[in-house]
Amino acid sequence: MVSSDREAGDVTVDLLTETYRDHYGSLLKLAALLLDDLASCEDVVQEAFIRVHSARSRVRDADKVLAYLRQTVVNLSRSTLRRRLIGMRLAPKPMPDMASAEEGAYDLLEKDALIQALRGIQRRQREVLVLRYFSDLTEAQVADLLGISIGSVKAYGSRGIEALRVRMEAFR
């Protein structure tokens, strides 16, 4: 019994290591495009790994581990943004001479105009664009992951691109 548990734990660790080497970086970048700070990205991806691998027995198809991880990252990113939005509403106004959020270790990403424009569009449009063009998912896969129809994916995509264009024009 103990040996079987140990074996199961070893298998889990091996799968965790394999999944980490194959997908952790891409999932971290996905979270970085959906979120706006590196610390939150790390937290979200780690939590996704912990959740999916802790419930490894419920994942019937091993090939879908990446899909589960990606969906978990999207859901957690959405929850993080929602909590942060509530926190910003309740937080006091910052003083004018306080340092901006763009300053720091993450400023390289923050200086990218496309990333800034991406953060200015609607959350659903941003998710569709990132999943469609960064994760290279098909419209059907994006629709399945977000729980919306393919038509909605197309609509969010086209409107997102238009909104992104408008914002990029503003940076010119």
Q: Which of residues 27-46 bind another protein (CB under 8 A)?
A: 28-29, 32-33, 38, 41-42, 46
- By CB under 8 A, is residue 109 in contact with another protein? yes
User: For another protein, which stretch binds (CB under 8 A), given 20-28, 64-72, 95-103, 138-146?
Assistant: 20-28
What DSSP string runs through 52-108? HHHTGGG---GGGHHHHHHHHHHHHHHHHHHHHHHHHHHSPPPPTTSPPTTSSTTHH
Which residue in the set 60, 99, 136, 147 belongs to the binding site for another protein (CB under 8 A)? 136
- By CB under 8 A, is residue 139 in contact with another protein? no
Q: How far is CA 34 from CA 26, 53, 68, 130, in A?
A: 12, 22, 17, 8
Which residue in the set 23, 36, 44, 49 belongs to the binding site for another protein (CB under 8 A)? 49
Q: Of 112, 106, 152, give the one whose Cα is nearest residue 132.
A: 152
- By CB under 8 A, is residue 51 in contact with another protein? yes
- By CB under 8 A, is residue 149 in contact with another protein? no
CA distance 35 to 28: 10
Nearest-approach distance from CB 171 to another protein, in angstroms = 5
